[in-house]
Amino acid sequence: MQKIKKLWQKIDPFSLQVRLTIGITAAFAVGVGGIAVWTTWQMQQILIDGHKQNIEQIAQRLPGDVEVYSEMFSLEIGLQKAIANRSTGKTLIWVKHNNSNNSIENLVPNDEASIKLMSLMRSPLSTRVYEIGDRYFVVCGKFLQVKGQQLGLLFVAQDISYEQRMFSSLVQSLGIVSLIALIIITIAIAIYIKKSLQPLRRISQLAETISVNDLSQARLHLHRAPTEVKELACTCDMMLDRLSEAWEQQRQFVGNVSHELRTPLTIVHGYLQSVLKRETNLTPTQREALETAEIEAQGTIGLLQDLLDLARADAGYLHIQIESLVLNDLVIEVAAMAMQQHDRIITLETSREQILVKADRSRLKQVLINLFDNAVKYSDSHLAIAVVLDLKAESTLIHVCDRGLGIPLSQQHLIFERFYRVDEARNRSAGGCGLGLSIVKTLVDSMGGSVTVRSKLGEGSTFTVTLPSAA
């Protein structure tokens, strides 16, 4: 019952599959139903026509018989003999006299239906079927005239109850068989339509799940689909080709531009640093301008480096050298740097003195620097940042926790995307460009790990990096 309920809930009345199934089944039911009704009617007519001819013949010949018998007997006895001669078990013949209710009949009917039929017949009638209770009769009635004398009304009736019952049960069985056939055909049509629409579903699934990373591989290979769908799939494949090409060109362009800009900018940054260090006769305004230029140049070099790293990772050229390293030492080193640089307190909690992980030293440093930078940027300067190292069976977790602004739940899955920033207002002062976390994710993924976030707006965030343990 539960299963049927679930199946019923799954059916979408607006889907093409349901509409086509209902349409075809309805057309089929109307067609077959129409033919069945027409055939049944025709069969009934054939059945009745046979009996009609028989009783009409009896009604036609009876006056002649009476005439022959009345040569030998009186008219009354001749009539009785003629009726008895023509009667059979299923054929009722009776004559109603004009001026009385008395009648002469072949046999005294002992069943209720025949008595009722006889009492109902009062005037001449063309041949037709009468239904009395569960019995059926074909009856015709006409005036009986012998030797120019009106004897009354002659009625001939044939009991066709048995044939009618057989016919009804045949129609009933045919109806049941047709219904079962209709159900089977409906199911078969539904399955066939579902199969035919499968390629369309694949196209929509592909369009739904495709990402920039699998643009070049994702193709629809629909060899056995209907021609129209195959054409659509072909067009989709061609569109994916063009998109993939355009995306590749764009990636190469970003990589090349980043590379070309980084070298001159590094030189400019170097000169600015040396001028700031060596020149003692700078006015405060000149010093301030040079310091601002130096900070901006450094920020832009960082951005270009991030773009280059991402372009290399996309092209599969990101250089990663995995080694076993003591995580505690590395975290202490990076935390010390961050504390000095940002003038903030970073605490370390660890379950063991030495935790060994498999990672690329410089890439892991880069990951931690980015996470510390964010924790510093998005929390108040008087609040401490905590790093917790947690050794599990086969992996090690690095939690970077702050008690800062937090990230709304609806945006937590988006922050690892390139150039995504939660709220422009909160970022403008901090100066981020939305690449830090996508670099973190790319680097951690390429080291065989993963990164997740748990955060509550207004209470803080915890970024967790999971890396494979070395021992």
> Which spans of this chain sit near ligand ADP (rule: CB under 6 A)?
374-375, 378, 402, 404-407, 415, 420-422, 426-427, 432-438, 461
Residues 32 and 58: their CA atoms lie apart, in Å, by: 39
Q: Which is nearer to ligand ADP, 19 or 428 (CB)?
A: 428
How many other β-carbons are positioned within 10 Å of the β-carbon of residue 338?
A: 21
Q: Measured from the CB of residue 458, what is the shortest distance to ligand ADP in angstroms?
A: 10
Alpha carbon separation from 190 to 37, 43, 419 (Å, rounded):
26, 34, 47
Q: How far is the CB of 423 from ligand ADP (least distance, A)?
A: 6
Query: Distance between CA atoms of 133 and 214, rounded to whole angstroms?
Result: 78
Q: Which is nearer to ligand ADP, 139 or 437 (CB)?
A: 437
**CB of residue 462 vs ligand ADP: minimum separation in angstroms?**
9
Given the complex with ligand ADP, which of 367 and 447 has the nearer CB atom?
367
- CA quadruple 432, 433, 434, 435: dihedral sign: negative
Residues near 187 by beta carbon (within 8 Å), at least 6 away in sequence: none
Q: Which residue lies nearer to ligand ADP by CB, 1 or 425?
A: 425
Q: How many residues does the chain have?
A: 471
The residue sitting closest to ligand ADP, measured at its beta carbon, is 432
Tokens 């990076």 correspond to 334
- Cβ proximity to ligand ADP: between 192 and 420 the closer is 420
Q: How far is the CB of 374 from ligand ADP (least distance, A)?
A: 3
CB of 286 to ligand ADP, least distance (A): 30
With tokens 């994710």, the residue in question is: 441
**Closer by beta carbon to ligand ADP, 146 or else 303:** 303
Q: What is the DSSP string of 125-155?
A: EEEEEEEETTEEEEEEEEEEEETTEEEEEEE
Dist CA 22 CA 227 (whole Å): 24
CB of 5 to ligand ADP, least distance (A): 44
